[in-house]
Amino acid sequence: MRFWHPMPWTARFGAVVIGLYALLAIFAPWIAPYGEAEILGGAFELWGGDHLLGTDNLGRDLLSRLIWGARNTIGIALATTLLSFALGAILGMAAAANTGLIDQVLSRLVDVLMAVPSLLLTLLALSVFGPGVLNLILIIALLDSTRVYRLARATTMNVIVLDYVEAARLRGEGMVSILWREVLPNISAPLIAEFGLRFCFVFLTISALSFLGLGLPPPTADWGAMVKENAALITFGDITPLLPALAIALLTVAVNFVVDHLLHLASGLKE
Amino acid sequence: MTGKARLLRMILGRLVLGLLTLWLISVLIFLAVSLLPGDIAQQILGQSATPETVAALRRELGLDQPLLQRYLDWMGTLLAGDFGNSLSNGRPVADLLAARMGKTLFLAAYAAAIAVPLALFLGILSAYRRGSLFDRAVTGLTLTMISFPEFFIAYVLMLFLAVRLPFFPTIADYGSDAGLIEMLHRTFLPAMALVLVVTAHMMRMTRAAIINLMAQPYIGMARLKGIGPLRVILVHALPNALAPIINVVAVNIAWLVSGVVIVEVVFVYPGLGQLMVDSVSNRDIPVVQACCLIFAAVYILLNLLADVLAIATNPRLMHRAG
Amino acid sequence: MTDLLLDIRNLQVATRLGAPILRGIDLSLHRGEVMGLIGESGAGKSTLGLAAMGYVQEGCRINGGAVHFDGQDLLALPEKQRRLFRGARIAYVAQSAAASFNPAWRLIDQFTEAPRLHGHARRAESEADAHDLYGRMGLPDPADFGLRFPHQVSGGQLQRAMTAMAMACRPDLIVFDEPTTALDVTTQIEVLAAIRSVVRDLNSAALYITHDLAVVAQMADRIKVLRHGEEVEEAPTGRLISAPQKEYTRSLWAVRNLTRPARPKPAETNHPALRLKGVTASYGRKMAVLRDVSIDFAAGRTIAVVGESGSGKSTTARAITGLLKPLSGDIELRGRALPAALRDRTKAELRSIQMIYQMADTALNPRQTLREIIGRPAAFYGGLRGAALDARVRELLAAIELEPGQFIDRRPGELSGGQKQRVGIARALAADPEFIICDEVTSALDQLVAEGILKLLMRLQEQTGVTYMFITHDLSTVRAIADSVVVMQKGAVVDQGSRDHIFQQSTHPYTRRLLDSVPETDTDWLTRTLAQRGRG
């Protein structure tokens, strides 16, 4: 397929990293040497010995928590992105297909929600609804779906004016059939790329919120929270607290590399 | 209608739209409290609270009033500069904000003053040298940078420039008697973290906007008139690039706003961002609402300004056929 | 020879990926001489025109050869020196004037830029010169014309302003790259006249690039025919037109003379396939775009609807298809009233009216195979499934002369422009329609390909008895295919009748002006027409 063939090393690297993270997340219980919340020794033990990367502020094995963290953080980010996508893409395509009252109302609502940086509204909503995994997923998915909505609506609008869609309308096809057969296959490339970008954004947002102490409740292992828990070590020049942050960064870099390649392919397809 | 009148009408239209957006956001922020099914006072205080304390909190939040009445009261006191009282310590929210707003504005302005020119310069240069080693290096670097969480960048800066090499303090707050130099020095690392994040996003969009512009046929025509590359960029491309560039700057201010919240927490900098995060954990809703409103207002007004500037610099709109 | 101005030897240009664009072209041009470059898309005309300025488009490179301009090899010079020639001694006029003027600048400032930078004239001198040239080009109010911005000026005027700008430094050579292709015929003739008079007055040499033989016949002293980046033949204009040596050139010429024999009028007793009665329509609350349009489309015939852009011919099609609901008036299909709105029409009514589009690229879903594209209407209307559907698709592919086994599972991206258009025809046929709207179906195609499409359409009409509404702005196509002609202007039908009547006897002034504006290959056509208009 053309996805693999003339692939730059960045995208190959990205794809491999994403694969490794996926394995880590799926098989965490078998890979991690210790349990997620097991307290095993003193706080802040050094690297080496029983604990390859030392222990954290409560004496839990850091390597194990890193591995469990892959499962929690990525899992929640993925669920949120999927929800945001389902919501945004369906509503966006529907709005583009029926430019009427529904489109007007939805688009104005999205305009207002997007008129301020989403972190502000996320924080506001969290303060009202309180912390918790479900709240976190729902709030971020809803706010993030505005961007998917805009993209889905705009790309659908671009395709829906093309002659082959008009031909289908003249044939007498129903709207659902037109969206499914004529539109969706032609907007899937930008939507897939956008999925990568949305995942990165959601993943970074959730990590940031966890870092701020507003994310997953303890003792769940979560990369953002792990940075915060062990931040005191930084002032002693220890890089350990940066490892979870590095884990976040590596995955987002990898996804961005792949997305970049996908966008490149998508733009090349036009020719 | 003359061109000037049309232009003026467009600008007025944008102003009205911007203020309408701001108003809608304020309604949204106000309504947030009422959105929760069930009783927020009970939620906040937990199951163990006595009915008296719950009733007191309800009164404090104004929940015993009808919705419209509450909104009018809220808006009225807000316009008088009264944001209500903090739930956690009872102090007027306005006082809490006053002490911190200056700090956040200083940090944000500091970062913007470096990031905006830097991003535009890098963006334009790499678009101009598209495909060169420089372009690929900068594009790769910024792609990596936008993939990093803000707190990662902040801690890396802290680790290397404050701990391993103690050039700058790890805690960024400055005293009330600090001079400008000391302020700039103490807040250098948080500002730098913001600069890296904002520059990366802004540079990428600037580059894309310029490349898009350079593909226009009139740029090719200018080359075919024998005009040198520098003049093509400065005289032919730039006047048409102003509107897109202004737009890029405005859009990326969003990264400054969310970045500032994180960076303030990392560097224990007592600004609005940190106040907001603390208040969210304490569920001190009046404070969160006030912070949210201020950030939103600043952001919307800046975007409004950019919109108006973009209209004003667009030649097609400025010189319409009469 | 001392007056040799441009001498291109064995020029080879290719894309960076290695696909050749020019495969060793020779060209020589003398001072004051106009050479026409003609060929179909992909012939390399534009690349050759730009190469005459020592310029290649992004993504291409020169692989060999020499471009001598006034004795100097432009390709051997450093870029900085080449720039001194461009704009000053060699100027360029692009196809799309609207996109090629900088939107941020007044026209006069764009005019004076090159003279000032090349040290040819001071601003005041150059502005005075601009007024003079604007006047010669027939632009309105020449003294103030330059104060306008590009978006305040019409397309035909912009094209003339660009020619004036090219003249600013009195270049020895001007490269015209399809300067009138985007214009309506009645505008084209004015621009052609203006370009020709200025080029002659100032004695510039010119390379005139076009795909339109009739246009180049008016402008050029000599013509070079290109194909696939190679020269086919070159000769003085008169000789090349009267006695082309090469088969390819002859076939290009022959396309223009394709004419369908006149057929007797069908019996009056039959209902027309489709009838419009007093149709008036508008978009939104704006002024009417169709005013009281009444047309009878006789069954089994081809009715050409002609007019310039904005005349309402495509809007008429939208009203027929039900996409635009008329404000008043009736549409009848075989004598039975047709509901105005698309959603009120029955499946049988929808099946009866099919459409073929201008841009085959956007008319076919790029993600579907030909089996899906052509099979869908057959399945949708006819309820065909499985083997029956497969057989029907193969039958249709055979009908449009595409080998079924080879093409059935291809996607549009793997087809040429002409093949895509054929698939568009097959999709319309798959519904078994009575009435097909052909909206500019050949105008995006090269002449030879277009000829194949027209012949196919005629053959299919004979086999199926389908009625065509043939929308076009190209009158030579009308001559080739139409039985009768409807002329539209500003949303109204101004003239209609049999083809031979319209072409030979119509006295309607707009019809006459439209017909007169269509260039003919006769080299004297422009001179003669202008003279006639001068008298009229």
- Please report, in tens digits, the pLDDT of each residue of chain A (271 residues total): 445 556 788 889 989 999 999 998 888 788 777 777 777 777 767 777 676 677 777 777 888 888 888 888 899 999 999 999 999 999 999 999 887 888 888 988 898 888 888 888 999 888 888 888 898 999 999 999 999 999 999 999 999 989 999 999 999 999 899 999 999 999 988 898 889 989 999 999 999 999 988 888 877 888 888 888 888 887 877 888 888 888 999 999 999 889 888 887 776 543 3
Chains that touch C (3 or more CB pairs under 8 A): A, B
Contact by Cβ (8 Å): C52, C13: no
Q: Report the residue count for chain B.
A: 322
- Nearest-by-CA chain B residue for A124: B288
* Residue B253 neighbours by CB under 8 Å, 6+ apart: B112, B299, B302, B303
| Domain total in chain B | 1
Beta carbons of C171 and C90 less than 8 angstroms apart? yes
Q: What is the rounded CA–CA span in Å between residue C285 and residue C296? A: 28
**What was the pLDDT predicted at B90?**
79
**Minimum distance, in Å, between the CA of residue A265 and any CA atom of chain B:** 17
CATH class (in words) of the domain with range A74-266: mainly alpha
- Measured between CA atoms, the residue of chain C closest to residue A163 is C363
Question: Are the Cβ atoms of A214 and B299 closer than 8 angstroms?
Answer: no
Interface of C with B in 81-120 (CB under 8 A): 83-88, 91-92, 94, 96, 99-105, 113-114, 117-118
- The percent of residues in chain B predicted with pLDDT above 90, rounded, is 17
pLDDT of residue C1: 46
Of B25, B164, B261, the CB nearest to A237: B164
Q: Which residues pair with C9 in a beta bridge?
A: C66
Burial class (CB in 10 A: 0-12, 13-18, 19+), C79: exposed
- Which of B145, B8, B189, A166 lies closest to C317 in space, CA to CA? A166
Q: Say which of A167, A170, A186 has its CB closest to residue C367.
A: A186
Residue A222: its chain B contacts at CB < 8 A? none
Please check whether residue B75 lies inside any domain of the structure: no
Single out the residue of C144, C187, C150, C146 nearest to residue C164, CA to CA. Answer: C146
CB spacing of A245 vs B152 below 8 angstroms: yes
Determine contact, residues C57/C1, Cβ cutoff 8 Å: no
CB contact under 8 A, A116 and B300: yes
Instruction: Report CB contact under 8 Å: C103, B228.
Output: no
Query: Do the chains contact at C350 and A166, CB–CB below 8 Å?
Result: no
User: B221 and C94 in contact by Cβ < 8 A?
Assistant: yes
pLDDT in tens, C344-401: 999 999 999 999 998 888 899 999 999 999 999 999 998 889 999 999 999 999 999 9
Q: What is the pLDDT of residue C268?
A: 63
Please give the Cα distance from B120 to B199 (Å, whole number).
Answer: 8
Contacts of B21 in chain A (CB under 8 A): 111-112, 115
Q: What is the pLDDT of residue B319?
A: 60
**DSSP helix/strand/coil, B80:** coil
Domain locations along chain C: 4-254, 297-327+336-505
| pLDDT value, residue A1 | 44
How far is the alpha carbon of A106 from chain C, nearest alpha carbon, in Å? 23
Percent of chain B scoring above 70 in pLDDT:
92
Subunits in contact with chain A (3 or more CB pairs closer than 8 Å): B, C
Residue A151: name the closest of A110, A209, A122 by CA: A110
Q: What is the CATH number of domain C297-327+336-505?
A: 3.40.50.300
Q: Which residue of B has its CA nearest to A116?
A: B296
- B127 occurs within a structural domain: yes
Cβ count within 10 A of residue C399: 18
Q: Helix or strand or coil: residue C269?
A: coil
Please give the pLDDT value at position C97.
85
CA-CA distance, C418 to C451, in Å (whole number)?
10
Interface of C to A at Cβ within 8 Å reads 321-323, 342, 345, 347, 350, 353-355, 357, 359, 362-368, 376-377, 380-381, 427, 431
Q: How far apart are the first and last CA of chain B?
A: 6
Whole-number Å distance between alpha carbons of C235 and A207: 74
The domain segmentation of chain A, as residue ranges, is 74-266
Q: Does the beta-carbon distance from B223 to C86 stay under 8 Å?
A: yes
Query: Considering only CA atoms, which of C456, C70, C360 is closest in space to residue A164?
Result: C360
pLDDT level of residue C536 (50, 70, 90 thresholds): low
Residue B38 is predicted with a pLDDT of 60
Contact C366 A186 (CB under 8 A): yes
Q: Which residues contact A49 (CB under 8 A, 6 or more apart)?
A: none
- The set of chains that have 3 or more CB pairs under 8 A with B is A, C
Inspect the interface and report whether the beta carbons of C94 and B217 lie closer than 8 Å: yes
Residue pointed to by tokens 């209608």: B1
Q: Give per-residue pLDDT as tens, C10-24.
A: 999 998 888 889 999
The domain defined by C4-254 folds into Rossmann fold (3.40.50)
**Average pLDDT in chain B:** 84
**Among B152, B189, B198, B201, the residue to mutate for chain A (most A Cβ within 10 A):** B152
Distance, in angstroms, between C23 CA and closest chain B CA?
24
Tell me how far apart the alpha carbons of residues B129 and B121 are, in angstroms, rounded to a whole number: 12
Residue contact A214–B40, C-beta within 8 A: no
Structure tokens at B306: 């950019």
List the domain range (segments joined by +) for residue B126. 3-36+83-321
Quote the pLDDT of residue B250. 86
Q: Which residues of B touch C102 (CB under 8 A)?
A: 218, 221-222, 236, 239-240
CATH number of the domain that B193 lies in? 1.10.3720.10
Taking CA atoms, A136 is separated from A197, A217, B262, in Å, by 19, 11, 18
Residue B214, in any domain of the structure:
yes
Q: Which of B46-50, B77-81, C165-169, C356-360 has the lowest average pLDDT?
A: B46-50
Compute the count of residue pairs across chains B and C with CB atoms less than 8 Å apart. Answer: 72
What is the least distance, in Å, from the CA of B239 to any CA of chain A? 27
Q: Is A237 on the interface with B (CB under 8 A)?
A: yes
Interface mutation vs chain A, best among C16, C342, C367, most A CBs within 10 Å:
C367
pLDDT at C66: 92
Q: A211 vs chain B: nearest CA distance in angstroms?
A: 8
Instruction: Identify from B29, B45, B139, B148 which residue to disrupt to test chain A contact, counting A C-beta atoms within 10 A and taking the largest count.
Output: B148
What residues of A are in contact with residue C350 (Cβ under 8 Å)?
170-172
Give the pLDDT score at B3: 64
Separation of alpha carbons C437 and C355, rounded Å: 5
Instruction: Using DSSP, state whether C465 is helix, strand or coil.
Output: coil
CA A179, CA A173: separation in Å to the nearest integer? 10
Shortest CA distance to C231 belongs to which of C249, C214, C213? C249
Chain B touched by A116 (CB under 8 Å): yes
Backbone angles phi, psi at A206, to 5 degrees: -65, -40
Of A164, A172, A182, the CB nearest to C350: A172
Listing DSSP states for chain A in one string gives -TTTTT--HHHHHHHHHHHHHHHHHHTHHHH-SS-SS-B-S-TTPPSBTTBTT-B-TTSBBHHHHHHHHIIIIIHHHHHHHHHHHHHHHHHHHHHHHSTTHHHHHHHHHHHHHHTS-HHHHHHHHHHHH-S-HHHHHHHHHHHHHHHHHHHHHHHHHHHHTSHHHHHHHHHT--HHHIIIIIIHHHHHHHHHHHHHHHHHHHHHHHHHHHHTT-SSPTTS--HHHHHHHTGGGGGGT--TTHHHHHHHHHHHHHHHHHHHHHHHHHHHHT-
Asked if residues C223 and C35 have their Cβ atoms less than 8 Å apart, the reply is yes
- Alpha carbon C388 to its chain centroid, in Å, reads 40
Q: How many CB atoms lie within 10 A of CB B18?
A: 18
Integer Cα distance of B106 and B191 in angstroms: 10
Whole-model pTM? 0.85
Contact B292 A242 (CB under 8 A): no
Considering only CB atoms, A163 lies closest to which of C322, C347, C357, namely C357
Residue C340 in tokens: 């105005």
Residues of B with CB below 8 A from C117's CB?
225-227, 231
Phi, psi dihedrals of residue B64, rounded to the nearest 5°: -85, -5
* Rg of chain C on CA atoms, in Å: 26
Q: Do A172 and C365 touch (CB under 8 A)?
A: no
- The two three-digit tokens of residue C288, written as one number: 């009417």
Q: Which residue of C has its CA nearest to A173?
A: C380
pLDDT band at B40 (very low <50, low <70, confident <90, very high): low
What would the mean pLDDT of C257-267 be, rounded to a whole number? Answer: 76
